[in-house]
Amino acid sequence: MSTAPPLLVVDNLEAGYGQINVLHRLSLTVNQGEIVTIIGANGAGKTTTLMCISGVVKTRAGNITFDGQSITGVPAHSVVRLGLSQSPEGRKIFPRLTVRENLEMGAFTRRDHDGMRADIQKAYTMFPILEKRQSQPGGLLSGGEQQMLAIARALMSRPKLLLLDEPSLGLAPQIVVQIFDVIRELNKQGMSVLLVEQNARMALKVAHRGYVLETGRITFTDKADVLLHDPRIRQAYLGE
């Protein structure tokens, strides 16, 4: 791992909705070149954590620093311009836009048209099915194809840190394997990744480090392989 300062620092984060506080003094880091995963049960606050980092949900307390700069309170579109992009839970592609138009939407911060075209071609190389479907509306894609499109769209802004929220949700096992192979390959190419994933086994196998989130609080953190073999984690999250 790099000895550079952490790419992302979340410090004593608190956030919620209405009168309900979801996150309670949550702290985590992602270093350059790492895959870090957050695992936990439904309702633990995993998605809220990513939404706060990406500027979609406002924080109530604490600080978020990305690439040496505080992004607490920075709006989502500005966070993307700083180099942080998210593939959201449930894909949330634009169903009436074509596959290619969805990819172009992911590059809304960019004006380098030659580079954008090159990156669209990279997306097609990564996910060949998207090239075959490039003229089809996104809403006609299968769930797995929509997940591929959501990840490819997030990459179109050329992020320094990629946030992935439940990339395996509702997908067939062979598609899940393909998605996680892509995550590994992106990381080999230098991409830092913060991964929220309910499939704890897959997440811990691909990640370098992990955090366990329970009711808005970090309860365990360690190297991913240590968490993978921890009896408490295996019983609670791996069904053993």
Band (91; pLDDT cuts 50, 70, 90):
confident
Comparison of pLDDT for 164 and 198, the residue scoring more: 164
Q: Under CATH, what is the fold of the domain 8-96+160-237?
A: Rossmann fold (3.40.50)
Give 118-154 pLDDT, tens digit per residue: 999 999 999 999 999 999 999 999 999 999 999 999 9
Angle at 239 between CA 238 and CA 240, to 5 degrees: 95
pTM of the entire predicted model? 0.92
Q: What is the pLDDT of residue 1?
A: 45
Residues 6+ apart with CB under 8 A from 22: 15, 16, 45, 48, 216
Could you tell me the pLDDT band of residue 4, with boundaries at 50, 70 and 90? confident
Question: Degrees (nearest 5) of the Cα angle 177, 143, 156?
Answer: 80
Q: Where are the domains of the chain?
A: 8-96+160-237
pLDDT by residue (tens digit) across 198-231?
889 999 999 999 999 999 999 999 999 999 999 9
Residue 207 C-alpha from the chain's centroid: 12
Q: Is 65 helix (H, G, I), strand (E, B) or coil?
A: strand
The whole-number pLDDT of residue 238 equals 81
